[in-house]
Structure 1
Amino acid sequence: MTEQLRPFEVGDYDIVAAYSKEQALTLLNEYCGDKFTLEDMDITDLSDQLDRTIHLEEGGTETLGEIMSRVYTPQYLFGWE
């Protein structure tokens, strides 16, 4: 069985596409230049929330599933404050 990229919410403000919680945290740390640990952050698998509406910075909305359908590699997706 091939692993599948999943959306993870890391902390309260960031969404990343990764294969695991550990990789999600690594991606966030690389993106933000931080050194958070698994003990520091709540990391939630959002695979069961693909119908969640995301308000895009440039206007409009998309579902998390629509965004994930265009993601083929682990990466930081977006965040908000």
Structure 2
Amino acid sequence: MEQPLKAYQVGGNDIVAAGSVEEALAVLEELAGETDLTIGDVAPIAEDELDIPVEDEEGTACPTIRQMLAELSEPAYLFGWD
């Protein structure tokens, strides 16, 4: 049985949805190509941060991370910043 998707911060700037730390790293590497990140650069997003609305560059409120996770059925890149 597949693990439920969780949100992970990979490196300093990217949030991905994945079932494990290893999978989170693989999602980012698939998107960005080879990275110099390791499992040590992946951290789960704290439960209390899942319900904070994310804002885009224009300051427009977007769905919360929890809402984004609820819409996904497979690992995916959620968002990042520069």
Q: Unmatched 5+ residue regions in structure 2?
A: none
Segment of structure 1 superposing worse, 19-28 or 58-67: 58-67
Displacement of 1:60 = 2.4
**Counterpart Cα distance in 2 of 1:46 and 1:3:** 16
Counterpart mapping for 1:1-81 below 5 A:
3-38=3-38, 42-46=41-45, 48=47, 49-56=49-56, 59-81=60-82
Task: Tell me the CA shift for residue 46 of structure 1.
Answer: 1.2
Deviates more, 1:3-12 or 1:49-58: 49-58
1:21-52 per-residue CA deviation (whole Å, 9 max, x = no partner) reads: 1110111011011233426x521111512113
Secondary structure at the aligned position of 1:9 is classed as: strand
* Root mean square deviation of aligned Cα: 2.1
Report how far residue 63 of structure 1 moved.
1.3
CA distance in 1 between counterparts of 2:73 and 2:34 reads: 24
Q: Structure 1 or 2: larger helix share?
A: 2
Structure 1 contact 5–19 (Cα < 8 Å) conserved? yes
Poorly superposed stretches of 4+, deviation over 3 Å: none
**Letter in structure 2 aligned against 1:11:** G
Q: Secondary structure at the match of 2:36?
A: coil
What percentage of aligned pairs have identical amino acids?
A: 35
Shift of 1:14: 0.3
* Alpha-carbon separation, structure 2, partners of 1:3 and 1:11: 22
Letter in 1 for 2:55: H
Q: Gaps (5+ residues) in structure 1?
A: none
Aligned length: 80
